[in-house]
Amino acid sequence: MSPGEARKNKIVSVVTPVHGEGVRFLPEAYTSLRSQDLPDGWSWEWCVQEDGDDVQSSAHLPADDPRIRISASRRGGPHVARTLAFARSTGVYVRNLDADDQLTAKALARDIAVLEEHPAVGWTTSRVLDLLDDGSTVSFDGDPEPGRLPRGSAYAFWAEHRRPGIHPATLCVRRPLLALLGGWMALPASGDTGLLLGLDALADGWFTGDTGLMYRKHPGQITTHPNHRAGAEWEARMSLIEEHTKALHAWAGLAIEPEAEALVTALRELRGGR
């Protein structure tokens, strides 16, 4: 889609990666989407990206809702699948929704309202409740104050704690900004954290204090894998996310370490932009 076409529409694209183990949760995700009450003139589309063969999302979703757009690709992991869903989308805003999660009432309307009312804000996140197997929910105590998140603030938290202070599963992003970053980082995990910190380097964000997502906790999710929070793979992911973020900060003119500034200087020289 061209930038001009994206500017003209009033569509929010919801992108969802799904694999065979997670396809059973799609009906609940769809119910949460169908219940969204959007501002006048706005609509949503749901780009479901099957990650691998024989996922069969269509068996779990209605065939008569034209807003649902299902496609499949080779197994590349959830972040590659999200990016492919983004490639098929048409909306001016792009909202993540994992197959096993659920949007809360008016979550999309709140995202739209912020991005329409604050042109300098490039992306939004919101409060999350963990959804447990027994149907109970658990809240998170470390949320920031609702409102604008200045550029660099998400990275400052991550650099100290090695985890994001806001949940990247709730991201809603302006289309050109997401395109500029190439979608989600192509990592086996933490690709959404990499995207969050990239967005944070380029534009102010916004944290909505109302709960925007029910984040399902279950044994089959990526975050339960032993390599998710320790080991050589974790170290490699964190190293690349940090290097990527520092380079973006330096390119965007935010204060950063000298080695990143040197990288940007070299890139500018290659482009003839001394």
User: pLDDT tens, 122-143?
Assistant: 999 999 998 887 777 788 778 9
Residue 256 lies in a domain: no
Residue 122 lies in a domain: yes
How far is it, in rounded angstroms, from Cα 82 to Cα 186?
A: 10
Q: Which domain holds residue 75?
A: 3-225
Residue 216 lies in a domain: yes
* Residue 265 CB contacts under 8 Å (≥ 6 apart), including other chains: none
Q: Which two tokens stand for residue 200?
A: 């944070």
Residue 239 lies in a domain: no
Its pTM stands at 0.88
- Domains in the chain, number: 1
Q: Rounded to an integer, what is the distance from CA 109 to the centroid of its chain? A: 17
Residue 38 DSSP label:
P
Residue 117 lies in a domain: yes
Cβ 103 vs Cβ 158: under 8 Å: no
Residue 270 lies in a domain: no
User: pLDDT tens, 186-224?
Assistant: 999 999 999 999 999 999 999 999 999 999 975 665 555
Answer whether residue 95 shows pLDDT above 90: yes
Q: Which residue has the higher pLDDT, 273 or 250?
A: 250
